[in-house]
Structure 1
Amino acid sequence: MANVQYYDVILKPVVTEKSMELMGEKKYTFLVHPEATKSQVKEAVEKMFNGTKVKSVNTMNYAGKKKRVRGTMQFGKTAKSKKAVVQLTEDSADIEIFEGL
């Protein structure tokens, strides 16, 4: 990965019904940089959110989907993406951006 800083690793949180249920188990879901590794995601979460300790990180790669341009027979592709589910330790502080959702 070409010199990506920790604040460039996490792009945005994923807010779905499933991710909200996982918050009860101290699991938080983020959309991350497609070339980020698990150790980089762990470092980014611990630096960006004070008082958090990461227990484990699970990542999923999503390939871009083939889409048709409206009204024509031309095809394009959406961007590939990567999602990370971060498990915090029991004594870790909660992540504030998910509070009140």
Structure 2
Amino acid sequence: MDKSKNQVLTEKSIRLLQQNQYTFDVNPELTKSEMKDWIEQFFDVKVKGMNSRRLPGRRKRRKGNKSGFSGSVRHKRMIVTLGNNYSIPLFLNQ
């Protein structure tokens, strides 16, 4: 599971679970097609669509009034929409 860093558990991602959408933080170099192929093989599901977003670096404070973000991208967030009758067992108690 080296391509996906972790599953995201926020209020929005939990709401998206009702619409059969799952949220992952992934490596910034990963493309949508690579992630789609990996999810379909790893979880044995059919991916209907994907959205991705690069999250900004950490907030930096500089000397004086200046502030901003560091130039590096920490991670990329992908929202994966699965086809009907498919699910990923992320939160099963064993």
Q: How far apart, in 1, do the equivalents of 2:71 and 2:49 lie?
A: 29
Structure having the larger proportion of residues in helix: 1
Count of residue correspondences? 88
Determine if the alignment matches structure 1 residue 98 to structure 2 residue 91: yes
TM-score by length of 1: 0.74
Partner of 2:60: 67
CA RMSD of aligned residues (A): 2.2
Unaligned runs of 5+ in 1: 1-6
TM-score by length of 2: 0.79
Q: How far apart, in 2, do the equivalents of 1:23 and 1:54 lie?
A: 14
Q: Percent of counterpart pairs with the same letter? A: 35
Q: How far apart, in 2, do the equivalents of 1:21 and 1:57 lie?
A: 17
Runs of 4+ with deviation above 3 angstroms: 75-79
Unaligned runs of 5+ in 2: none
Q: How far apart, in 2, do the equivalents of 1:78 and 1:18 lie?
A: 26
Deviation at 1:68, TM superposition (A): 4.3
